[in-house]
Amino acid sequence: MRVAQLFDLHGQTAVVTGGSRGLGLQIAQALGEQGARVLLVARKQAELEQACAALREAGVQDADWLAADLGAEEGVAACADGAMARLGKVDILVNNAGATWGAPAQDYPLAAWDKVMNLNLRSVFLLSQALGRAMIAQRHGRIINIASIAGLAGNAPDTMKTLAYNTSKAGLINFTRALAAEWGQYGVTVNALAPGFFPSRMTQGVLQQYGAEALSRHAPLQRLGDEDDLKGAALLFASAAGKHITGQVLAVDGGVSAVLA
C-alpha cells in the first residue's frame, strides 16, 4: 500500500468529543482533511455551529455536530445513540472532552473532584463502551484518548495545583493500555496522545500567570504546541498507518516528558 493510502480516511467516520474548539477541533480538521466524515460533540450549540463553519472554510465539507453534556450519563447515552443514528457506524472515536480545576489538595472541593473525574475518566469509559460494542461487531475501530503529560507526573512546587486533573489523566493512560489489551482481538486499537502545554481556553489562566516564554523554557524544543502539532500524531493512530500500534501513549510536548524528574 502506498503511503498516501495508509493515511487516507475516505469512507471512515469519526466522533470527536470536545470538538468545538482547541485540540479537539484541530484533530477533527486533520481527520476531515483526510476524508473522514466528522461528528463534533460538545455542550454548546453555538460553538459547535461555529466550529463546523470553520471546518468548511478549511475545506472539510462533511462535518456535523451534536450537542451533549458528557459529564452526565444521559448525555453520554445521547451522544452514542446520536452518533450511530447520524453516521450509521463509528470507525474512529477521539475522547478529547475534559475539564480541570485548580486548588490545593488539602482544600480540594469534592464537587470539583467529581466533576473532573466524571468528564475526564467516567465519560470516556461509558462512551468507549457504548461505541466500542459497534466497533467489536464490525471488527474494526480506532479509539484515541487525549491524555496529558500531567498524567505522567505531579506538578513542580509553586506551580499548578491540579490533583484531580493529574490523577484523571494518569487513569486515562492505564485505561488506554488495559482496553487495548482486551479489544485487540476484535481489531480495535486503543491509543493515547499526551499533549504538553498548548494554548487553549483551558490553559489561558496558566498562560496569563506564567507567560509563554517562561513555559517554553521547560521544553527542550523551547516552544509551546501550536494549531498543527497534534494533527500528524492523531492521523497515525486513526489510519491504516497505525494498524499495528495499540496500547501506546505518545507525548506531544516539545520534549518536556523526556526531562521530567
Residues classed as catalytic: 165
**DSSP symbols for 143-183:** EEEE--GGGSS-PPTTS--BHHHHHHHHHHHHHHHHHHHHH
Residues 6+ apart with CB under 8 A from 3: 241
Residues 6+ apart with CB under 8 A from 79: 15, 17, 41, 66, 68, 70, 127
Q: Cell numbers 486503543 label which residue?
A: 190
User: 3-class SS at 50?
Assistant: helix
Residue recorded with cell 490523577: 167
Which of 151, 87, 95, 99 is CA-nearest to residue 125? 95
- Extract the C-alpha cell encoding 202: 483551558
E-strand stretches of 63-131: 63-67, 92-95
Sign of the alpha-carbon dihedral angle for 122, 62, 192, 102: negative
Kindly give, in sequence order, each residue whose CB lies less than 8 Å from that of residue 162, ignoring residues fewer than 6 positions away: 100, 101, 102, 150, 155
